Amino acid sequence: MNVFLNDYNDLCHERVLERITEVNPKGNVGYGFDTYTDRAKKLIKRDLKREDVEIEFLSGGTIANIIAITSNLMPYEGIIAADSGHINAHEAGSIEATGKKIETVATEDGKLNSLSIRKKYSQLSEEFTVSPKLVYISQTTELGTVYSLEEIKDIYATCKELDCYLYIDGARMAVGLAASDVQVEDLCSICDIFTLGGTKNGAIYGEALVIVNDALKKNIRRYMKQRGAVLAKGFILGAQFEALFEDGLYYELGKTSYERSIHLAQSLRDMGVKFYAEPQSNQVFILYPTEKIQGLAENNSFEVSPYSEDEKILRFVTSYRTTPEEIDNLIADLKKIN
C-alpha cells in the first residue's frame, strides 16, 4: 500500500523514540516542570532567536487551537477565520463550545488577506455583533496553500491596526517553513502566538505553543488545566521536543515531506491532472472521476471528499516517511487506470 492518507500514521521518528526511552525511570517532576521540558523550551527559543516568549507543550492540534485562541478572550470577543479553516470545519464546534463565535470569510484558496480581514472587521462594528479580537490563519492551510512572508507581515500589520491578535496554527509548520520564504526566526515578529506541530512531524504526540504577546501569556497554565490540557507526565512531551529541536531534526523532516510533495505535484502536473487547489505543500488535492476511485484505492490510500456527481476531490498527503517509490507507484497506478 502506498500511504498518502495523512501525515500522522507512524509512531514517531526513531530519534524521538530513543530519547523517550532515556527519560528517568522514576522521580521526574510532573506537569511540565521537569528538566527535559526546560531544555526543549531553551532549544526552541534558541531557534526562534527570542528569549521572552512563553512555550507550552500540548497533546494535539485541536486542544492547542482551543488554548491558543480562547485563553485570553473576553466573552463578547470573536474570531475571524477562513470558512475552510480547521477550527471552523473540522473541530466539531470546539471554539463555539468555549462560547466564542467564529466570523468566517469565504476564500478561493483557504487564505485570508489584509483586504478580506478589513472587510469582515468592518461588518462587525455594531453592538449587535461580537467584537473581533483574534485572526486565525494556518501555515500551511487546509487546502495545502502556503503564505509568503510578505503576506503574513501584511496580515499582521492589519491585525495590529485593528487591535486584533494574529494566531498561526502551525500543525504543519515544519512543512510550512520548508515550503515558504518564512524562516523560523521570523515567526515571533509576524504574529502574536503560534504553534510548532509535532504530531505530524516526528513526535508521538505534541504541539509546541509559542506565545509572543504578553497579553496572551496571562494565566495560560490555569486555562490549560481548566481545559484538561496539562499532562501529568509533561516530561515526555519535553523529551520529544528536545529530540526534535536539538539538531534540527524538526526542520529536516519538514523539508523531506515538502520535497516529496514537490515530486508528487510535478508528476501529477506532468500527467495533466486537474488540481482542486494549487499544490504548494504536503497536501495535494486533485479532482478525479468518481468511477475510477475504487481502482486507485486498491494499492493507494488517500482521502476522498465530495465535489460533483462525476468527480470527487482526492487528497494525497506526503510525510517524511513517504518514499519516492510510493509516489512513482501512485503515478503509475494513475496512468494505468486512466
Residues 101-160 that bind its own copies (CB under 8 A): 101-102, 127-131
Rule CB under 8 A: say whether 191 interacts with its own copies: no
Residue type, 329: N
Residue 20 binds to its own copies (criterion: CB under 8 A): yes
Q: Which stretch binds its own copies (CB under 8 A): 96-104, 137-145, 247-255, 310-318?
A: 96-104
Is residue 15 a contact point for its own copies (CB under 8 A)?
no
Collapsing DSSP to helix, strand or coil, 287 comes out as: strand
Give yes or no for residue 324 binding its own copies (CB under 8 A).
no
Residues 6+ apart with CB under 8 A from 147: 111, 137, 139, 141, 155, 176, 180, 182
- The beta strands (E) that lie in the chain are given as 2-3, 54-58, 77-82, 102-105, 131-138, 165-169, 193-197, 207-211, 283-289, 300-301, 303-306, 311-317
Using the minimum distance from each CB to its own copies, give the nearer residue, 58 or 273.
58
- Min dist CB 175 to its own copies, Å, is 15
The 3-state secondary structure of 109-160 reads CCCCCHHHHHHHHHCCCCCCCCEEEEEEEECCCCCCCCCCHHHHHHHHHHHH
Residues 34-73 that bind its own copies (CB under 8 A): 59-66, 70-73
Question: Of 27 and 272, which CB lies nearer to its own copies in the complex structure?
Answer: 27
Whole-angstrom CA distances from 272 to 4, 260, 291, 307, 335 are 20, 19, 18, 19, 11
Question: For its own copies, which residue of 82, 229, 268, 334 counts as binding (CB under 8 A)?
Answer: 229
Pick one of 117, 155, 231, 331: the residue that binds its own copies (CB under 8 A).
231
Work out which of 55, 230, 243, 249 binds its own copies, going by CB under 8 A.
230
Distance separating alpha carbons of residues 47 and 184, to the nearest angstrom:
7
Piece of the chain touching its own copies by CB under 8 A; list 18-26, 49-57, 153-161, 247-255: 18-26
Task: Confirm or reject binding of residue 75 to its own copies (CB under 8 A).
Answer: yes
Among 52, 92, 298, 336, binds its own copies (CB under 8 A): 92
Which of 73/212 has CB closer to its own copies? Answer: 73
- 282 makes contact with its own copies (CB under 8 A): no
Q: How far apart are CA 338 and CA 325, in angstroms?
A: 20
